Amino acid sequence: MIIFPAIDLRNGKAVRLVEGDFKQETVYAEDPAAVAEQFREAGAEFLHVVDLDGALAGESRNLEVIRRILASAGNMKVEVGGGVRSLQAVSRLLDVGVTRVILGSLAARNPAEVREICKYFPGQAVAGIDAKNGEVAVEGWGVSGGMNYLELGKRMAEIGIEHIIFTDISRDGKLQGVNVEATAELAKASGVKVVASGGVASITDVKKLMAREQDGIEGVIIGKALYTGKVDLKEALSVAKGNG
């Protein structure tokens, strides 16, 4: 099981939202690169970064901050999403050292472009499927994508996506527990490896997801629970490796 500690960027700072609501923002760090360094020192091998300003604007708004995060990341593999809406945007992020790029709104809106990205950058594009009550949401979660999340997962698998991040918006930032069943359903329906996101509240959530690895769940993104001390990253990494 892969643990992805998360950094959400807004106005150059590390923040967390509740259900993607920009009015419910908490700033946790003025220097996101220092947070990345802490995650690296704790032993994290992967890092999940979202440019929230970019998600709203439709293009990267925190590229310089992302560069600083990459400089602090050491050997951590870094995935970045938020406002990535074209092949050129993917190329820019990969050129600065990002390991893989998350396609959210683009996955729902323009699967033909996603197909092209998969062709040019095989294995480096991740579909970010964000849903509330099973319905996909796009553009910073403010707009309905007009389809069921399982339908989108199958479509992404057909055009070459090898990894999906699934976020249950209704749980995001609430520390109420991850939606294990919906995540497992997506993995089974699509046949693609899925990373769970939204609502992780304790180590118990990690263990619940590990129990469903055979269904295709390959990892979990942990955000607010790390910043509030509900989850200790070193412990989560140890548990994910089978130690406890």
Residue 236 token pair: 């989560």
Contact by Cβ (8 Å): 5, 219: no
Catalytic option among 51, 53, 130, 168: 130
Structure tokens at 126: 């991740």
Active-site annotation holds for 8: yes
221/125 Cα distance (integer angstroms)? 17
**Active-site annotation holder among 8, 51, 168, 205:** 8
Given a contact cutoff of 8 angstroms between Cβ atoms, the answer to whether 158 and 118 are in contact is no
d(C-alpha 108, C-alpha 89), whole Å: 17
The question of whether 95 is a catalytic residue gets the answer: no
Provide the β-strand partners of residue 55: none
Whole-angstrom Cα distance, residue 139 to residue 146? 12
Residues acting as catalytic residues: 8, 130
